[in-house]
Amino acid sequence: MDHNDNQTPQGETARILVEFLEVAITSIVFLKGVYPNGAFERRRYMNVVVHKARHPQLRDYIQSSVNGLLPFIKKGLVERVVIIFFNDQNEPMERFVFKVNLNLSYGSKVEEANLEFALRSFLIKLPVSESLTKTLPKGKISSFWLPGD
């Protein structure tokens, strides 16, 4: 990845969005109870307490999947990011969709403070969202999938 590309307003906006997606997806996996609470640790992100995956394979899976989207987000090619939880029969049980609608054309500038305020607001609402506070049935989830790689 070209370091200079991240210094443009478009590159910085895409970087912030990818970083946010990693935090938000990890938070959803935590809230759904797919892994034991001990697989996560509390951290601060944008002055909000969030959960970060402690287990290296889980952390790397989420991180590499989301970071793999960065070049496509920079080019404006990503419309949605979907997280799907599957049961033991490989049938989708639940899905979460992040709609990505950024104008990253040259000259457009998203105010970083406004973007971070919107993303922080989402993270604050996430743990109290009714659909997310209901954990998935224990022993019924075999995997979750993020597009990437």
pLDDT in tens, 73-114: 888 888 889 888 887 777 888 888 888 877 655 555 566 677
Instruction: Give the CATH number for residue 51.
Output: 3.30.900.10
As for how many domains the chain has, the answer is 1
In the structure, what pLDDT confidence band is assigned to residue 127 with cuts at 50, 70 and 90?
confident
Q: Of 23, 52, 29, 62, give the one whose Cα is nearest residue 148.
A: 62
The domain of 128 spans 3-145
pTM more than 0.75:
yes
Residue 127 near residue 66 (C-beta atoms within 8 A): no
What lies within 8 Å, CB to CB, of 93 at 6+ separation is: 85, 86, 87, 136, 140, 141
Instruction: Give the integer Cα–Cα distance in Å for 66 and 55.
Output: 17
